[in-house]
């Protein structure tokens, strides 16, 4: 039989373990501070998304705290750099969950969120992402919500334009990532059953020479080329080597990562003149104008992408509202988001059965004289 002393020792050990678990679980919900984890591409090929996301998230935090915080407690966002790299994203998430954080936001790079999803489930955490358009995000997990549009809507815009214009031979060069390849797959699906022939070539992330793929596509003499890179960095490789090979079809389509990049569009203005691209569009309103003015006042520059800043600002407010209503409980926050109808700076926000933002719309843009403007047909 176990001695009385042994029983007491075991009892004490159990109590200590319970206390340690409770302390860790409540690091993010202390007596004075509530913490949210935010993972953005702060370096790498999509840092142009990460920097304004971080700045806007901090604006939202400052506004929330200036108005009294969350039930009298200060909100703090702990920023991490996922670099648009799934491995880096998983490492960052493990670090944050290890510190007790269970509520997250993220921006850009579908693959990073898909890689994080198992950890979100195993730690009973919830994530609301913005600037996430890959179709695989839909219904990927009850723990993941998307405050952004789906890129299948962008692909449909391209397919409808192709059919209306009567193009017969379409070439696609795409990066082998969930987002970039997802657009290629969606475009092909929308063109199935038509007389349009699609020829595709791919390249791996980090590739510096894709001349072979481009030369093969050029040899097919396509009516149209769709360029679908994952990042600004890979977009630069594609466009530079197209120029080198003098590969300039009558019509070029580019994905939203290209159309969002003022640097790419201006640097490659000649080859992109007349090119079409799609992007998720947010209607302008007075509340959004006020946030954009605050961004300029605080940081000395305009927000480079209005839709990114609007979505990030609203996402922080959504999470703060959920915590205020439901306490720091991921399952309860999920239930809250399922039924929320929030009037934000980016418009009315609710989520559908797939945890995607409802009623989102993409619009076509055209490159004119080194700038992307709304396409006027």
In this structure, whether the domain defined by 31-149+284-360 belongs to CATH 3.40.50.2300 is answered with yes
Q: What pLDDT does residue 377 have?
A: 75
Q: What pLDDT does residue 144 have?
A: 97
Question: The pTM is what?
Answer: 0.89
Does 152-254 match 31-149+284-360 at the fold level? yes
List 371's β-bridge partners, or say none. 368
Q: So what's the architecture of 152-254 in CATH?
A: 3-Layer(aba) Sandwich (3.40)
Give the closest residue to 198 by CA, choosing from 228, 177, 229.
228
Decide: 80 and 39 in contact? Cβ < 8 Å: yes
List phi, psi (to 5°) of 325: -80, -35
Indicate the SS3 state at residue 195. Answer: coil
Give residue-wise pLDDT tens across range 310-335. 999 999 999 999 999 998 999 999 99
Give residue-wise pLDDT tens across range 202-249. 999 999 999 999 999 999 999 999 999 999 999 999 999 999 999 999
- Which residue, chain included where needed, has tokens 């939203």? 256
Indicate the SS3 state at residue 303. Answer: coil
- Mean pLDDT per 10-residue interval, the chain, length 377 residues: 52 46 47 93 95 98 97 96 96 96 95 96 96 92 95 95 97 96 96 97 97 98 98 97 97 96 96 96 94 98 96 98 94 95 96 95 95 90
Sequence ranges of the domains in the chain? 31-149+284-360, 152-254
Q: What pLDDT does residue 24 have?
A: 46
Indicate the SS3 state at residue 60. Answer: helix
Q: What pLDDT does residue 30 have?
A: 54
Q: What pLDDT does residue 26 have?
A: 46
List phi, psi (to 5°) of 168: -115, -30
DSSP single-letter state for residue 255: -
Distance CA 71, CA 290 (A): 25
* The two three-digit tokens of residue 202, written as one number: 């791919």
CB atoms within 10 A of CB 317: 18
Indicate the SS3 state at residue 83. Answer: coil
Please give the helix or strand (H or E) that residue 157 lies within, else none: helix 152-165
DSSP single-letter state for residue 228: E
List 224's β-bridge partners, or say none. 170, 251
Distance of CA 76 to the CA centre of its chain: 21
Q: What pLDDT does residue 376 have?
A: 83
CB atoms within 10 A of CB 339: 8
Distance CA 112, CA 90 (A): 8
Distance CA 377, CA 372 (A): 14
Distance CA 313, CA 328 (A): 20
Starting from the edge strand earliest in sequence, which strands make up the sheet with 169-175, in order? Answer: 197-203, 169-175, 224-228, 251-254, 276-280, 362-368, 371-374
Please give the helix or strand (H or E) that residue 217 lies within, else none: helix 211-219
């Amino acid at each position: 039989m176990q001695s009385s002393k042994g029983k007491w020792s075991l009892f004490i050990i159990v109590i200590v373990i319970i206390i340690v678990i409770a302390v860790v679980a409540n690091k993010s919900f202390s007596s004075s501070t509530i913490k949210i984890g935010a993972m953005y591409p702060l370096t790498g090929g999509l840092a142009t998304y990460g920097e304004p996301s971080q700045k806007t998230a901090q604006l939202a935090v400052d506004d929330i705290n200036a108005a009294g915080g969350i039930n009298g407690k200060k909100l703090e966002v702990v920023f991490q750099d996922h670099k648009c790299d799934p491995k880096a994203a998983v490492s960052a998430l493990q670090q944050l969950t290890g510190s007790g954080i269970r509520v997250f936001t993220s921006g850009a790079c579908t693959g990073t969120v898909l890689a994080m999803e198992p950890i979100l489930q195993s730690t009973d955490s919830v994530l609301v992402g913005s600037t996430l358009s890959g179709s695989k995000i839909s219904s990927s997990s009850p723990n993941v919500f998307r405050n952004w549009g789906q890129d299948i809507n962008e692909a449909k815009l391209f397919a409808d334009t192709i059919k209306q214009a009567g193009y017969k031979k379409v070439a696609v060069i795409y990066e082998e990532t969930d987002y970039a390849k997802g657009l290629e797959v969606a475009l092909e699906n929308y063109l199935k059953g038509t007389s349009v022939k699609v020829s595709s070539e791919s390249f791996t992330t980090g590739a510096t020479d894709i001349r072979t793929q481009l030369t093969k596509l050029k040899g097919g003499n396509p009516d149209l080329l769709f360029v679908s890179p994952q990042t600004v960095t890979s977009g630069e490789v594609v466009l530079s080597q197209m120029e080198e090979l003098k590969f300039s079809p009558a019509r070029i389509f580019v994905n939203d990562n290209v159309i969002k990049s003022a640097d790419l569009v201006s640097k490659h203005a000649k080859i992109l003149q007349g090119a079409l691209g799609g992007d998720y569009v947010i209607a302008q309103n007075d509340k959004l104008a006020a946030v954009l003015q605050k961004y300029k006042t605080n940081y000395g520059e305009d927000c480079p992408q209005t839709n990114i800043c609007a979505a990030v600002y609203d996402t922080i407010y959504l999470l703060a509202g959920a915590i205020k209503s439901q306490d720091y409980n991921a399952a309860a926050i999920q239930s809250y988001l399922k039924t929320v109808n929030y009037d934000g700076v980016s418009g009315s926000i609710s989520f559908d059965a797939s945890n995607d933002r409802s009623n989102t719309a993409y619009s076509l843009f055209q490159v004119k004289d080194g700038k992307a403007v709304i396409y006027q047909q």
